């Protein structure tokens, strides 16, 4: 058996590349035909019911507006109900038939059952479930001394997708609906200071890839991945009592704005309505996947050179429970500084999350 594997290791990779190169024109033609067909004869979303989690800001908010333009019935879910009221009004102005809003925490199964049940009781159906809730970090793993943040990151990035999907699946089967998940290229493309985030996104991708095989054609699944798309980190705040567990001061999501975020939202909704299994923005990131498979050392060397100029480490200290430097009253922090500030008791972490 070892001899067989040795021969296959030597023969299969180059043979597969040759076959892929020969088949590439035909595959491109077939994919183009499918894209054109689905574009003109895709799912008409008028009067359909769409649930969007993490809809209070960022990509979730923009996705809500894109579905609203297609005259859908929306259910907007987030922890910040007050933020949802303004989004609701704008979605109505853009064409949404009806818009329900509900405050819920998607890492709690009971909350997920509640808003799914409310949706079915009000609309009678669920056609699309869009999961956009996500939480990033920017610290080196070895600098984290408070591991309480670790399960929080996994809960939001992984279970925050699993629980809504699990609860909604029976209703999506009835309508032959679709699940749309907002993931990230970091699930396979390594970047420093994102180890836990990348691991959670990889878990999400593998969960939905496996789920595709289980649900077959009864429920569609669209996996959207993106690279860096200009997230504006302006509102995310965390409160951590000194020496205690991390608590949320404000929202989990951070406002994302700019043409790239809007463009990504348009691609997600258009791809979901066409029934595309994948939406990628930007597409050129895929070239690194070839290096990941066939030349992983080259990929590692490339990233080491790209990040070599950073010099000394600068970290956000989210969840690290590191002590803060005491500053004299005469000293004032630099406006560009990303260090936490002591605000009378708890430590408030501001402007330090990278979220979608």
**Beta bridge pairs of residue 49:** 73
Tokens of 271: 């791809």
Nearest Cα neighbor of 239 from 159, 160, 348 is 348
Residue 42 and residue 272 in contact, taking contact as beta carbons nearer than 8 Å:
no
* Structural contact between residues 205 and 216, judged by C-beta atoms closer than 8 angstroms: no
Structure tokens at 123: 């609309």
Among 166, 160, 137, smallest CA distance to 149 is for 137
111: number of Cβ within 10 Å: 19
C-alpha neighbours within 13 Å on the C-beta side of residue 219: 25
CA separation for the pair 60, 256 (Å, rounded): 9
Tokens of 348: 């408030």
Task: Quote the Cα angle for 229-231-234, to 5°.
Answer: 170
Look-up of token digits 């070239």: 287
Among 67, 123, 197, 281, the one annotated catalytic? 197
Is position 67 annotated as part of the catalytic site? no
Residues with Cβ within 8 Å of residue 268, at least 6 apart in sequence: 59, 63, 66, 130, 180, 182, 222, 224, 279
**CA 243 from chain center: how many Å?**
30
Helices (H) and strands (E) in the chain, counts: 10, 11
Cα 144 to Cα 315: distance, rounded to the nearest angstrom: 10
Q: Which helix (H) or strand (E) holds 327?
A: none
Q: List residues with catalytic annotation.
A: 197
């Amino acid at each position: 058996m070892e001899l067989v594997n040795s021969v296959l290791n030597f023969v299969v990779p180059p043979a597969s590349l040759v076959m892929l190169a020969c088949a590439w024109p035909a595959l491109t033609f077939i994919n183009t035909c499918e894209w054109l067909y689905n574009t003109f004869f895709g799912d008409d979303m008028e009067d359909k019911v769409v649930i969007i989690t993490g809809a209070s800001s960022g990509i979730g908010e923009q996705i809500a507006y894109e579905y609203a333009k297609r005259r859908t019935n929306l259910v907007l879910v987030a922890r910040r109900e007050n933020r949802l009221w303004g989004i609701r009004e704008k979605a109505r102005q853009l064409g949404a038939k009806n818009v329900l809003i509900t405050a819920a925490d998607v890492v709690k199964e009971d909350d997920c059952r509640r808003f799914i049940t409310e949706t079915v009781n009000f609309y009678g159906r669920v056609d699309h479930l869009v999961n956009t809730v996500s939480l990033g970090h920017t610290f080196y793993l070895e600098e984290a001394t408070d591991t309480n943040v670790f399960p929080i990151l996994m809960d939001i990035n992984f279970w925050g997708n699993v629980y809504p999907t699990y609860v909604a699946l029976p209703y999506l089967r009835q309508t032959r609906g679709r699940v749309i998940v907002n993931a990230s290229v970091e699930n396979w493309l390594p970047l420093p200071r994102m180890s836990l985030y990348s691991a959670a996104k990889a878990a999400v991708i593998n969960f939905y890839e496996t789920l595709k095989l289980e649900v077959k054609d009864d429920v569609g699944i669209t996996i959207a991945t993106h690279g860096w798309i200009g997230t504006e980190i302006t509102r995310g705040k965390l409160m951590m009592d000194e020496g205690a567990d991390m608590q949320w001061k404000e929202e989990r999501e951070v406002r994302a704005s700019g043409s790239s975020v809007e463009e990504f939202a348009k691609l997600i909704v258009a791809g979901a309505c066409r029934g595309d299994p994948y939406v990628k923005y930007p597409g050129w990131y895929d070239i690194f996947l070839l290096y990941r498979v066939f030349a992983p050392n080259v990929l590692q060397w490339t990233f080491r050179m790209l990040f070599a100029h950073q010099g000394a480490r600068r970290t956000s200290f989210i969840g690290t429970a590191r002590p803060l430097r005491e500053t004299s009253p005469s000293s004032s922090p630099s406006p560009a500084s990303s260090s936490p500030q002591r605000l009378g008791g708890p430590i408030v972490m501001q402007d330090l999350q990278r979220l979608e």
